Structure 1
Amino acid sequence: MRRWLGLLLLLPALLAAPRMALAQATAVAPPSLSVELSTRRIEVTTAFSGAEILVFGATERLIGPLGDEVLVLVTGPETAMMVREKTNVLGFWINGDAARFNRVPSYWALASTRPVPAMLDRVERADLRLALDQLPLVQLGSQGAEFRQALAGLQQEAGLWVDRERPIEVSGGRLFHARLPLPATVAHGIYQVQVMLVRDRRVVARQELRLDVVRTGSAAWVADIARNQPVLYGIACIVMAGLAGWFGSVVFRRN
């Protein structure tokens, strides 16, 4: 009798155990974020005039000020760049001090559902480097801050650094998409697309996608010669420039 009484007392706990386990599993389940690119490969030909990166996805919760927020950060392959200061000497502009920057992202663009300072605190923004002034550039040579500002200005003017936060469009409360422009001068290589889900001023989920920008056709052929046989490439450029000048002089002389 006592054994049956003990089993009856344990029965409610046994029935509640699966529900408790399910509740605990639900509590620790990571936030849901599904993202994709419209294309994983962009081909650069001689007629390439630019393109755009289309990122789209969905979240499990509503997107908005009282719900989740979304960030999209796209970075291109790193390169090295030189910034020179022009100095006026007796009416002539000559090269002055110079700074070399290593680990420069050839492309950097940000999109978000709201301004980043309204979504993340200062420490989180610094850790994720969600601003141009937080990029980990290695500066050699002259160390003035004006060289870094000049570099940022040149890249922004070329459309390679998109520092203005482009809005992410939301449909149906949970679907989103972002369009980021790629100029015609974009570098070829592997691009990293990061999509971050923000909740309570913290990044709670993240997905990374790969985008390949490749040269094809005659553009790839010319690039290969310039990289692998620079002497031959230089001679060919000189010969073509000479022929163009000769042809122009013949045409204008006849006229």
Structure 2
Amino acid sequence: MRVLAFAFALLCALPALAEEVVLGLSSDQVSINTNFDGSEILIFGAVKREEAILDDPRLQVIVTVAGPSRPITVRRKEKRFGIWVNTDAVEVDHAPSFYAVASSTLLGLALSNTEDLRYKVSIPRAIRSVGAPQNILDSKNFTNALIRIKSKSNQYQLNEGTVSVDEQTLFRTAIELPAALTEGDYLTRIFLTRGGEVVSKYETSIYVRKVGVERWLFRLSRENALIYGFMSLAIAIAAGWGASAIFSIFRR
């Protein structure tokens, strides 16, 4: 009883959150079908307070959306004897398939390095690479190469100054999802910061799922790989025969 009483007293002594997020999403589900060419998710919300609004430092809002993570092998190519060949390789242990960061100001102003290290907000912090071979001294360059490649395909995004904050209470932003999405749960986080320090955090998920024929083929490839392989072979043979027949008709 004394332990329970002490725990209750300690809990009551903790300060209540002065500011917290009330979030809304234009949609919490994204369906991938044959016509899917990308989507845009509107993220909006408000700040609930128990105290008066502080003017200094001003409230900043950071939004992150992260797709499912998996290991990725990054290879370096070098030209030897006139041929490009793979030389060194580094396996990145943890890399999100999609990652977007949106902030109400420059990310470096909205979040300190210490808080970034704690919450893994920036793109480099969201990637974990600790298993580089000992003979590779520039393993960081492999991570930078991965970020550069993913950024070109719009799968990694840094959108500074795109979160609108009205009266330090209402906020909104839009995250563009590219066509090449991995199926899974996309963790969405909202951070409220003041002076670079996180004062509140909120998490939810956006669900990305294949539907229709894509969903059936995806499940077939995972659950009945042999049947999927034979079906793919049959389709390839039929397509080749059809193309040959059409070409023969035009030759005549």
TM-score by length of 2: 0.80
Is residue 2:100 matched to residue 1:104? no
Specify the alignment match of 1:83 in structure 2.
Answer: 74
Cα distance in 2 between the residues matched to 1:152 and 1:72: 19
Cα distance in 2 between the residues matched to 1:179 and 1:119: 18
Specify the alignment match of 1:243 in structure 2.
Answer: 238
| SS of residue in 2 equivalent to 1:167 | coil
Is residue 2:25 matched to residue 1:37? yes
Is the 2:44–2:173 Cα contact (8 Å) retained in structure 1? Answer: yes
Cα distance in 2 between the residues matched to 1:63 and 1:40: 32
Residues 239/56 of structure 1: CA separation in 2 closer, same or farther (3 Å cut)? same
1:63-78 correspondence to structure 2 within 5 Å? 67-78=58-69
Is the 1:63–1:170 Cα contact (8 Å) retained in structure 2? Answer: no
| Shift in Å, 1:184 | 1.0
| Shift in Å, 1:90 | 3.4
Is the 1:120–1:201 Cα contact (8 Å) retained in structure 2? Answer: yes
Is the 2:189–2:203 Cα contact (8 Å) retained in structure 1? Answer: yes
Cα distance in 2 between the residues matched to 1:245 and 1:95: 33
| Shift in Å, 1:194 | 0.7
| Shift in Å, 1:155 | 1.4
| Shift in Å, 1:141 | 5.4
| SS of residue in 1 equivalent to 2:35 | coil
Q: Deviations 1:89-136 (Å, cap 9, x if unpaired)? A: 433333333222222111111111111211222212222222222234
Q: How many residues align?
A: 230
| SS of residue in 2 equivalent to 1:146 | helix
Q: Deviations 1:50-96 (Å, cap 9, x if unpaired)? A: 11221101125769885311111111111122222234343333333
Alignment match of 2:227 (pick from 220, 226, 232): 232
Alignment match of 1:199 (pick from 194, 197, 211): 194
Residues 238/157 of structure 1: CA separation in 2 closer, same or farther (3 Å cut)? farther
Is residue 2:173 matched to residue 1:182? no
Q: For residue 33 of structure 1, what is the amino acid of its counterpart? A: V
Cα distance in 2 between the residues matched to 1:214 and 1:192: 14
Q: For residue 247 of structure 2, what is the amino acid of its counterpart? A: F
| Shift in Å, 1:253 | 2.1
Specify the alignment match of 1:92 in structure 2.
Answer: 83
Specify the alignment match of 2:8 in structure 1.
Answer: none
Q: For residue 211 of structure 1, what is the amino acid of its counterpart? A: I
Specify the alignment match of 1:168 in structure 2.
Answer: 163
Cα distance in 2 between the residues matched to 1:167 and 1:123: 23
Which segment is superposed worse, 215-224 or 91-100?
91-100
Which segment is superposed worse, 152-161 or 130-139?
130-139
| Shift in Å, 1:139 | 4.8
Which segment is superposed worse, 39-48 or 27-36?
27-36
| SS of residue in 2 equivalent to 1:48 | coil
Is the 2:101–2:159 Cα contact (8 Å) retained in structure 1? Answer: yes
Which segment is superposed worse, 183-192 or 58-67?
58-67
